[in-house]
Amino acid sequence: MTKKPIPCMATETGNMLKPWRAGIDTYQEPVVYMRRECPICRSEGFTTQARVQLTAGNRSIVATLSVVDSAWLAENVAGLSESAWQALAPQAGQLVAVTHAPPLDSLSHVRAKVYGHSLGDSEYGAVISDIAAGRYSDLQIAAFITACAGDRMKLEETVSLTKAMIAVGDRIDWGRSVVVDKHCVGGLPGNRTTLIAVPIVAACGLTMPKTSSRAITSPAGTVDTMEVLAPVDLDVARMRRVVERTGGCIVWGGAVRLSPADDILIRVERPLDLDSEGQLVASVLSKKAAAGSTHVLIDVPVGATAKVRTTQAAASLAFRLRNVGSAIGLQVSLRVTDGEQPVGRGIGPALEARDVLAVLKGLPEAPADLRERSLRVAADILEMGGATLVGDGLGLANDVLSDGRAWAKFQEICAEQGGMRIPPTARFTRTIEALASGRITRVDNRLLARTAKLAGAPTAPGAGIDVHVRLGDRVDVGQALFTLHAEAPGELEYALEFVRSRPPIFQISESA
């Protein structure tokens, strides 16, 4: 049998469509909309959910196809979701070639992981480089995240994953032997010590280029809170300028794009509300390494309803963090802190920012616990970075905060990041009162965080919860326990309904 020429090749010539900006927000997953009757769907046999490659000039992305049977989309266009439009960035007049996406061989490693096998450097490298290149659909990423969740990654696997995540991003070189950093494992609402510790540490002459993520499963991440006070979307060049001028910064790691794979993983983790020890360690340490840090302090709040619930879990996490850190050349110190109740009073970006400002300005209403925790974090970093002798950190930190140097440094950092802002306030509020008299014996941090999210935090920066009581306080019937803040009435109602239908967030023991 002789080889016949293929009747019609799947080349650029036959597969061009006019790109059209459909303006559909698909939450970063690139999607292309094409008419079922368009010549390409017909000749290529494309159906919905096909993974297709879009090429415009020398840019190429992989997108998920949604087939359309309606005249709002013309037959000769490729409708691009907003993320596909941004990523492909077609020039005026440029056509888009639509072809089959190349087979994704690294999926076999994901499958192996799902089936309980361990993966090595090359497997994690292949998966992460495909994910960073946008070759995975959100469904495929969800499978990878789930397969690695819980305690399903060995220590060596976490090292491999961390290395793979570092390899696909940029890495900043500060040209200094000591660059300090910190991270809080989270799960404790209102624990915004970073915004206070960075200016203290920078005011003492250390270099602390802090990049943070947005909230994954919490009502506010560090940059969500920082963003209501100053711009956080700085690129590497601007971040470098801020740090060179002030010694510190608090910016969004996603804009710096130090860990592009992590940013993609996080966008899928968020709706799944899943955390994984291995991925957490890889996510944190890959970003620290990429940011050029040499010494990292990790704050691990432990409490019955915090993210880390037991000292055993904290020890397991600490072990993994230290060992993965040393495998990639980072010195990691850990501090286990009390995680039984929220820190400060506000939960949600703007409400937390208000507490931070009160501490920095030394206002009388400043939450004492937030001040205390921030000083301890700053002290550890000062000692770890050699700015003071071990044992003298707390005194130095206290001086720098009390005499206004930290507040001056914070304003300097905000100005360099693009100008200080006034936090928004939410229009709709509702106060929840005690239904009994007694003593507050327990706080459910998880319900508290979930309620704040239902009220709109962190997407609505003014939304969240203002907590009026603390563990051990005596309250009377009708006394205010907390106030819900929302920017939209529907969200206030939704959060209220949730509060009413769940067990009490604050447990009041009447006998006490």
The residues pairing with 210 across neighbouring beta strands, listed in sequence order, are 250
The Cα–Cα gap between 133 and 194 comes to: 32
Q: Is 158 in the site for a copy of itself (CB under 8 A)?
A: no
Q: What is the CA radius of gyration of the chain?
A: 25
How far is residue 133 from each of residues 265, 284, 318, measured CA to CA in Å? 12, 20, 31
Which residues within the stretch 365-404 sit at the binding site for a copy of itself (CB under 8 A)?
Answer: none
Beta bridge partners of 432: 482
- Tell me the two tokens of residue 427: 């229009």
Q: What is the x/- site pattern for a copy of itself, positions 429-458, by CB under 8 A?
A: -xx-x----------------x---x-x--
Measured from the CB atom, is 250 or 268 closer to a copy of itself? 268
Nearest approach in angstroms of CB 218 to a copy of itself is 15
Pick the closer one to a copy of itself by CB: 86 or 441.
86
111 is an interface residue for a copy of itself by CB under 8 A: yes
Can residue 48 be called a binding residue for a copy of itself (CB under 8 A)?
yes
Using alpha carbons, select from 256, 249, 278 the residue that is nearest to residue 265: 278
Per rule CB under 8 A, is residue 136 in the interface with a copy of itself? no
Q: Are the C-beta atoms of residues 439 and 472 closer than 8 Å to each other?
A: yes
In the complex with a copy of itself, the residue whose CB is nearer, 117 or 361, is: 117
Interaction of residue 510 with a copy of itself, rule CB under 8 A? no
Q: For the window 53-72, what string marks contact with a copy of itself as x by the rule CB under 8 A? A: -------------xxxxx-x
d(CA 139, CA 137): 5
**Amino acid identity at 102:** P
224 catalytic residue (yes or no): no
Q: Which stretch binds a copy of itself (CB under 8 A): 111-119, 280-288, 342-350, 504-512?
A: 111-119
Q: How far is Cα 193 from Cα 447, in angstroms, rounded to an integer?
A: 22
Among 16, 32, 132, 147, which residue sits at the site for a copy of itself (rule: CB under 8 A)? 147
DSSP helix/strand/coil, 166: helix
Q: Which residues contact 60 (CB under 8 A, 6 or more apart)?
A: 53, 54
Answer yes or no whether residue 151 interacts with a copy of itself by CB under 8 A. Answer: yes
Transcribe 371-423 into DSSP letters: HHHHHHHHHHHHHHTTSS-TT-HHHHHHHHHHTTHHHHHHHHHHHHHT---PP
Scan residues 3-22 and list those touching a copy of itself (CB under 8 A).
Answer: 3-4, 6-10, 15, 21-22
Q: How many residues bind a copy of itself (CB under 8 A)?
A: 81
CB 220 → a copy of itself: shortest distance, Å? 15
Among 12, 23, 474, 477, binds a copy of itself (CB under 8 A): 23
Residues within window 271-290 making contact with a copy of itself, judged by CB under 8 A: 271-274
Near a copy of itself in 244-273, by CB under 8 A: 268, 271-273
The one catalytic residue in 262, 275, 369, 466 is 275
- Site for a copy of itself (CB under 8 A): which residue of 16, 132, 149, 197? 149
Q: Which of 492, 499, 505, 508 binds a copy of itself (CB under 8 A)?
A: 492
- Separation of alpha carbons 273 and 286, rounded Å: 21
Q: Residue 297: name the closest of 203, 461, 184 by CA.
A: 184
Which are the catalytic amino acids?
275
